[in-house]
Amino acid sequence: MSCLLRTARLCARWLFASAAAPCRRASRFNVPPSAEFVARPVGICSMLRLPIQTSAEGLDAAFVGVPLDVGTSNRPGARFGPQQIRAESVMVRRYNASTGAAPFDSLLVADVGDVNVNLYNLPDSCCRIRQSYQKIVASACVPLTLGGDHTITYPILQAVAEKHGPVGLVHVDAHTDTSDTALGEKIYHGTPFRRCVDEGLLDCSRVVQIGIRGSSYTPDPYKYCRDQGFRVVPAEDCWMKSLVPLMGEVRQQMGDGPVYISFDIDGLDPAYAPGTGTPEIAGLTPSQAFEIIRGCKGLNIVGCDLVEVAPIYDVSGNTALLGANLLFEMLCVLPGVKTM
């Protein structure tokens, strides 16, 4: 280990310990420092200002960055999503005041850094992602992923299904991402769930896609999904209403089996989340996004991702801020999280 890296780690541990000490009792968990005692811009940039580890060993849950965007079909830039989400996550505090969830009193959580992707070779990147997540899930750690374009969900689910078997899927998106090919390629951000079906990674009777909308290349763009047994909930069915009743139905559909949450930020209306590569108007609201994620409480969640944040299209940082909060909400509904 280089002297510079060793010094940085020691400084990070000292900062974390000294920052957290004034505001909490001794705990076996990692507790983010409070802005009452440590200024938000202080310290190494990590998700929720948690400690940074090089391995998921010993963790109950881990935040993982996958800075890949070479699978995009329109505007690139999601490779910078993990950095910006981490930067904006300084606004997220320790407890969920709305639900009472206390994730940092319940689970040992850390930021395990980024997968070392290959920006010049998408198949090789998928291989690297799969291998990284095989190690994470083998350690009984639940990964919460900061994307990155939606291609990354395919190799992540390869690793997750290798451990848990075919999983149920709660997929929030403007697009179904079930195309077969584009420009002759079978792997890009429009195909991950088609490839997952091909490989038997999904329990198709337990797949729901929420917020789907936009123009299409065919008269019946959702036929493939429905033929597989997916439940498709178009955005029009979500307008001007609470999604709490929908999520009651989703919980029944998912049952006790393993469930993965994949949230594309373009599922939200671009009025709220303009920083993404393939925006579609008339989408979900942030409050509906909260209802969806909070509605997953009680499910056997084995992994989550938040993808397609491209900060260069939103100088305000609001899209990344939304992403950070949605990831916090996902952490709050993981199995084992207590309420206060």
Annotated binding site for Mn(2+): 150, 173, 175, 177, 264, 266
How many other CB atoms are found less than 10 A from the CB of residue 91?
14
Longest dimension (CA), the chain: 61
Enumerate residues 6+ apart whose C-beta is below 8 A from 65: 47, 82, 83, 86, 113, 114, 115, 145, 146, 148
Tokens read off for 218: 């065919």
CA dist 42 → 35, 141, 151 (Å) = 10, 28, 33
Q: Is 52 helix (H, G, I), strand (E, B) or coil?
A: strand
Phi-psi sector, 282: left (phi>0), alpha (psi -120 to 50), beta: left
Per the listing, tokens 């789907």 go with 212
Chain centroid to CA 266: 13
Distance, in Å, from the CA atom of 153 to the CA atom of 150, rounded to the nearest integer, reads 6
**E strand residue ranges, the chain:** 61-66, 109-114, 142-147, 167-172, 202-212, 231-234, 258-264, 300-307
Binding site: which residues? 150, 173, 175, 177, 264, 266
Distance, in Å, from the CA atom of 257 to the CA atom of 300, rounded to the nearest integer, reads 6
- 180 near 191, Cβ under 8 Å? yes
Interhelix angle 81-88/318-332, rounded to 10 degrees, is 80
Burial (CB count <10 Å: 0-12, 13-18, 19+), residue 182: middle
